[in-house]
Amino acid sequence: MESSKEDEPQLRHVETDVLIPKRMREKARERCVQHVDAFSACCKETGFFMVFKCREENAALKQCLTGHYQDPEFFQLCKQEYIQEKLEYERTGIPSKSRKQKLPTSM
């Protein structure tokens, strides 16, 4: 469902420059999980010499992450997710983290 600029709420500077990019970083790490895991494993195995020994894994991770950061469609996807979460918060007053938690089954 495409929404036009008129349908979108006005976003503050901090939302477009901090909060949405933060969401992009989190989602990009999820999408690049195989590279994150490979780099982490290499760092654990090599310890102090990771700077020299894990260059290939680091380069692959950076390439994967940068590809997502520079993708305008990915930005729009993250922006729309952020807007939906913001609108839901304005409607309910419940932060998304609280909505995702399970409610107790008995009181």
> pTM to 2 decimals?
0.73
Q: What domain range includes position 58?
A: 13-95
Please report whether residue 102 resides in a domain.
Answer: no
Please report whether residue 100 resides in a domain.
Answer: no
Please report whether residue 37 resides in a domain.
Answer: yes
pLDDT tens digit sequence for 12-66: 999 999 999 999 999 999 999 999 999 999 999 988 888 899 999 999 999 999 9
pLDDT band at 92 (very low <50, low <70, confident <90, very high): confident
For the chain, how many residues are written? Answer: 107
- Whether the CB-CB separation of 65 and 39 falls below 8 Å is answered with no
pLDDT at 49: 87
Please report whether residue 38 resides in a domain.
Answer: yes
Please report whether residue 46 resides in a domain.
Answer: yes
Please report whether residue 6 resides in a domain.
Answer: no
pLDDT tens digit sequence for 52-68: 999 999 999 999 999 99
Please report whether residue 4 resides in a domain.
Answer: no
Residue with the two structure tokens 């020994």: 53
Please report whether residue 7 resides in a domain.
Answer: no
Q: What does 7-29 look like in DSSP terms, one character per residue?
A: TSPPPPHHIIIIIHHHHHHHHHH
Specify the number of domains making up the chain. 1
pLDDT tens digit sequence for 66-90: 999 999 999 999 999 999 999 998 8
